[in-house]
A and B are shown apart, each in its own frame.
Chain A
């Protein structure tokens, strides 16, 4: 987690002129933005606007077609060493949880510490329990993912990412696969992380979360950043016509 006590002036991550093409289809057209320490950026926009692709390009689960992602002003090269070093500092939480099915809750959390950070089992267990406690999943350390509800799985997935003590956490629609009654428990954990000062980027359809919790909101439309600003600017005084249209559905809904 970020140790910076004050809001730093240097960005942790810089996205510069990012483009991503799938076949003939240009999904990301020209994306640039900076992520500063303690930022909690939400990315909103309709399906197919490129939100998730942007997030996946940042940690190179998709290789960008053009442009660059900089981490502390150093470009992430598309080779496995550079990418893996970056990924171990920038965690990711997926829509479909992606917990390891062959491992218990505890083993899921320990995996990164053991096989990426190569630290001792004692340390791995200790820190896993600490973060499982934080998300309220410590009673379930012996359960396998298939034995848990969606909300529980997602909380374990968040703990698994936190155990790596990442500088930034990326959330790819973390509540979109959940039943309505489970969305709350995951959002509560995320709100706690924001107030702890964890730097994060959240792709979400939860407009209330974007408006009330995030420090900055990016509205994406058709592969571009259409509008960017504080939640107050975006939600209460949107300048762009597309933003206004998109948000009118939310306000009326």
Chain B
């Protein structure tokens, strides 16, 4: 070593040399928790959003109707609570609450996934609800007139269209989750923010250590924003189609 670093850039290089493995593992944990939490949260959000949009009028027996009302009640409380409290508080309550109430020590990583999933699910359900309501009523009537049940109608017609409408919001949520997982350092999840604390603490170089972290977050969010933009364009589909059996094979028609 040629002595201790003496300026900003040499400290950055020094910290990267010392802690690149740590930064990398923090980055992986951040990606894992935010990706898994977003995917599971979207699944939950779709389920909850569909429940919120259903009237329950198709339920055939009074018992089923009651059960459905109960489900709607639970869903409403869940969404209200999780949208109305900060994720950092939810993390503490869930992580320490489960440990105290049931005596189980949930590993921090699993707890992290659970918290992000529940948080994302609550917000996503509102997005899904809005998305479903934005689909033209004619789509539903077209399916009903064929004699289609609610479930296949949702799966094959309404939700695929909802997905396209809300996809940009799903991308936003994922990018938001990449940043928001940083609050999970309070339950000792060794994500990017947590490990930066470790790296910064050893040499008391807060500015340099967190500048590195900021650059990593920024790179991630920019990269994923770009990726989602590309997927969005791909999902929109081609503007042309092939006319079958036209004189020139494979001729394309643009609408």
Chain A interface residues (CB < 8 Å from chain B): 59, 61, 79-81, 83-89, 91-92, 94, 96-104, 111-112, 115-116, 138-144, 146-148, 157, 160-161, 164
Contacts and interface: CB of A to CB of B under 8 A. Distances in A.
Interface string B151-179: 01100110011001000000000000000
Interface of B: 58, 60, 136, 138-139, 141-150, 152-153, 156-157, 160-161, 164, 237, 239-246, 253, 255
Contacts of A85: 147
Given A139-B246, A144-B241, A116 B138 contact: no
Contact of B142 (A84, A94, A141): A94
A42 B18 CA distance: 84
A142 B242 contact: yes
A153 to B, nearest CB: 11
Nearest to B145: A92
A94 to B, nearest CB: 7
A166 B244 CA distance: 27
B58 A61 contact: no
Nearest to B58: A80
B142 A146 contact: no
A102 B255 contact: no
Nearest to B156: A115
A177 to B, nearest CB: 11
Contacts of B145: 59, 61, 87, 91-92, 94, 98, 161
Given A61-B144, A116-B148, A81 B138 contact: no
A86 B146 CA distance: 9
Nearest to B164: A102
Nearest to A140: B243
A115 B239 CA distance: 28
Identify the 5 closest CB pairs spanning chains A and B, nearest first.
Answer: A88-B147, A98-B142, A147-B255, A87-B147, A92-B145
